[in-house]
Chain A
Amino acid sequence: MTQFLASGSGMDGIKHIINVLCEPHWFLILSCVALAVFMVGYRTFTKPPIAAALAGVSTLFFIASCLDPNFFSIVSKGDNVPIVMMMVTLAFVLWIAFRQAAINDERMEKGEPLLEAGADDKVLVWPDLVYIELICLVLLTAFLVVWAIFLRAPLEQPADPNVAPNPAKAPWYFLGLQEMLVYFDPWLAGVVLPGLIVVGLIAVPYLDKNPRGNGYYTFKQRPFAIGTFMFGFGILWIVLIIFGTFLRGPNWNFFGPYEFWDHNKPAALLNVEFHDLFWIQMLGRPLPTEDVAFIPAYIIREIAGIAVLGVYFIAGPIILRAVFFRKLYVQMGFIRFSVMAMLFLVMMLMPIKMALRWTLNLHYIVGITEWFLNV
Chain B
Amino acid sequence: MASKEIISKVWIEDGCIVCDACETAAPDVFEVLEETCIIRPAALDVEFCKPRSTEIVDAAEECPVDVIKFESTTVEVSDAEAAAVPADAPASDAAPAAPVVAPAKAAPAEAAPPAAASVHASTAGAPDPAIAALLKAATTRGGHAGMLKNADGGMASSGSTRGDARNLPPEARQAKVQAAAKKASADADAGRRAFASSGALMVGWGAFSAGAGLAVGPAFTRFMMPNVMEEPDPRIRIGKLQKYSEMEPGGVNEDYKPQGIWMIRLEDRIAALNIICTHLGCIPNWLVNERKYKCPCHGSGYYQNGVNFEGPTPRPLERFKIYVEDGIVVVDKSKKYNYELGQWDQPSSFLLV
B-contact bits for A199-221, CB 8 A (1 contact / 0 none): 00000000001111011100000
Interface core residue of A107, A168, A215 (most chain B CB under 10 Å):
A215
Interface core residue of B128, B139, B257 (most chain A CB under 10 Å):
B128
Interface residues of B in 15-69 (CB under 8 A from A): 17-19, 34-35, 64-65
- Please tell me if A118 contacts chain B, counting CB pairs below 8 Å: yes
Chain A residues whose C-beta falls within 8 Å of the C-beta of B18 in the assembled complex = 327, 330-331
Pair A264/B134 contact, Cβ less than 8 Å:
no
A-contact bits for B269-291, CB 8 A (1 contact / 0 none): 00000010001101111010110
Pair B312/A183 contact, Cβ less than 8 Å:
yes
Closest to A328 in B: B18
- Please tell me if B265 contacts chain A, counting CB pairs below 8 Å: no
Pair A185/B309 contact, Cβ less than 8 Å:
no
B-contact bits for A143-183, CB 8 A (1 contact / 0 none): 00000000000000000011111111000000000100111
CA–CA, A161 and B155, complex, Å? 72
Pair A214/B312 contact, Cβ less than 8 Å:
no
- Please tell me if B184 contacts chain A, counting CB pairs below 8 Å: no
Q: Which of B3-11, B171-179, B194-202, B293-301 contacts A (4 or more CB under 8 A)?
A: B293-301
Q: Which of A13-21, A308-316, A367-375 contacts B (4 or more CB under 8 A)?
A: A367-375
CA–CA, A181 and B310, complex, Å? 13
- Please tell me if A45 contacts chain B, counting CB pairs below 8 Å: no
From the candidates B64, B258, B309, B310, name the one contacting A212 in the complex (CB within 8 A): B64
- Please tell me if A121 contacts chain B, counting CB pairs below 8 Å: yes
From the candidates B129, B137, B282, B296, name the one contacting A113 in the complex (CB within 8 A): B129
Q: Which of B90-98, B105-113, B203-211, B214-222 contacts A (4 or more CB under 8 A)?
A: B90-98
Q: How far is the CB of B21 from chain A (nearest CB, A)?
A: 10
Q: How far is the CB of A364 from chain B (nearest CB, A)?
A: 7
From the candidates B129, B139, B297, name the one contacting A252 in the complex (CB within 8 A): B297
State the majority secondary structure of interface residues on A.
loop
- Please tell me if B76 contacts chain A, counting CB pairs below 8 Å: no
- Please tell me if A68 contacts chain B, counting CB pairs below 8 Å: no
- Please tell me if B133 contacts chain A, counting CB pairs below 8 Å: yes
Task: Report how many residues on chain B are interfacial, defined by Cβ distance under 8 Å.
Answer: 54
Chain B residues whose C-beta falls within 8 Å of the C-beta of A114 in the assembled complex = 128, 130-131, 134
Chain B residues whose C-beta falls within 8 Å of the C-beta of A266 in the assembled complex = 290
Chain A residues whose C-beta falls within 8 Å of the C-beta of B257 in the assembled complex = 162
- Please tell me if B138 contacts chain A, counting CB pairs below 8 Å: yes
CA–CA, A118 and B97, complex, Å? 5
Pair A264/B301 contact, Cβ less than 8 Å:
no
Q: How far is the CB of B96 from chain A (nearest CB, A)?
A: 6
From the candidates A111, A190, A264, A367, name the one contacting B280 in the complex (CB within 8 A): A190
Pair A271/B134 contact, Cβ less than 8 Å:
no
A-contact bits for B108-142, CB 8 A (1 contact / 0 none): 00000000000000000001111101110111000
CA–CA, A2 and B17, complex, Å? 58
Pair A181/B279 contact, Cβ less than 8 Å:
yes
From the candidates A165, A211, A363, name the one contacting B135 in the complex (CB within 8 A): A211
Pair B296/A117 contact, Cβ less than 8 Å:
no
CA–CA, A214 and B295, complex, Å? 47
From the candidates A164, A183, A361, name the one contacting B296 in the complex (CB within 8 A): A164
Chain A residues whose C-beta falls within 8 Å of the C-beta of B133 in the assembled complex = 117
With contact pairs A162-B258, A330-B35 given, residues A113 and B94 touching in the complex (Cβ less than 8 Å): yes
Pair A181/B34 contact, Cβ less than 8 Å:
no
CA–CA, A303 and B137, complex, Å? 53
- Please tell me if A251 contacts chain B, counting CB pairs below 8 Å: yes
Q: How far is the CB of A89 from chain B (nearest CB, A)?
A: 28
Pair A162/B301 contact, Cβ less than 8 Å:
no
Closest to B135 in A: A211
CA–CA, A182 and B312, complex, Å? 5
Chain A residues whose C-beta falls within 8 Å of the C-beta of B130 in the assembled complex = 113-114, 116-118, 216
Chain B residues whose C-beta falls within 8 Å of the C-beta of A163 in the assembled complex = 283
CA–CA, A75 and B35, complex, Å? 54
CA–CA, A190 and B340, complex, Å? 22
Interface core residue of A112, A117, A250 (most chain B CB under 10 Å):
A117
A-B contact pairs, 9 of them (CB 8 A): A114-B131, A117-B95, A117-B129, A162-B283, A164-B284, A210-B19, A252-B297, A331-B19, A361-B310
The 9 closest A-B pairs by CB, nearest first: A117-B130, A252-B299, A214-B138, A166-B296, A269-B310, A113-B130, A211-B64, A215-B134, A118-B97
Task: Give the interface of B toward A (CB within 8 A).
Answer: 17-19, 34-35, 64-65, 94-98, 127-131, 133-135, 137-139, 144-145, 257-258, 260, 275, 279-280, 282-285, 287, 289-290, 294-299, 301, 308-312, 314-315, 340-341
- 7 A-B pairs besides A162-B260, A331-B19 with CB distance below 8 A are A113-B95, A168-B282, A181-B312, A184-B312, A252-B296, A271-B311, A369-B340
